[in-house]
Amino acid sequence: MRALYVSVAVGEAGRSLASLAEILGQAERNNRRDQLSGVIARHDGCFLQAVEGARADIDRLLERLRRDPRHRDLRLLAFGAISARAFPQWAMARVDVASEPALAAGRALDGLAAEEAQVLLERAAARLRLAA
């Protein structure tokens, strides 16, 4: 299964590198425990995240995320079965999406359709793999 969501960052979570590092560390620990993989992007005060794994584990994660005060207005863009994971090598990786054409042209993460968001994350993840 894959869940793809966008949300609005609250307070320091939207601005601070230290806050983002804390989110990434916690997500990586929890996702390793739950055998989830995925990527997250933060851009202009929004988060975009894809998480892959077993349905029960993703359901539990989504419940935790809905209660997390570091963001609000969580909107599920896509949720469904997948034939293969797109991000299997990362329990959670941060990807940079600022250079993506849609965002560079002034669009916001929370204005993307599910397909656009998925492609954006896959391209950013491919750049991250090349840089490693």
**Contact assessment for residue 96 and residue 57, using Cβ atoms and an 8 Å cutoff:** no
| DSSP letter string, the chain | -EEEEEEEE-GGGGT-HHHHHHHHHHHHHHHHHHT-EEEEEEETTEEEEEEES-HHHHHHHHHHHHH-TTEEEEEEEEEE--SS-SSTT-SSEE---TTSHHHHTT--GGG--HHHHHHHHHHHHHHHHHH-
The whole-number pLDDT of residue 4 equals 97
The whole-number pLDDT of residue 79 equals 97
The whole-number pLDDT of residue 122 equals 92
Tokens 């600022």, located at residue = 98
> Distance between terminal CA atoms of the chain?
26
Q: State the 10-residue block means of pLDDT for the chain, 132 residues long.
A: 95 82 92 96 92 97 94 95 94 88 80 92 88 64
- Please report, as a single letter, which amino acid is at residue 8: V
The whole-number pLDDT of residue 132 equals 58
The whole-number pLDDT of residue 48 equals 95
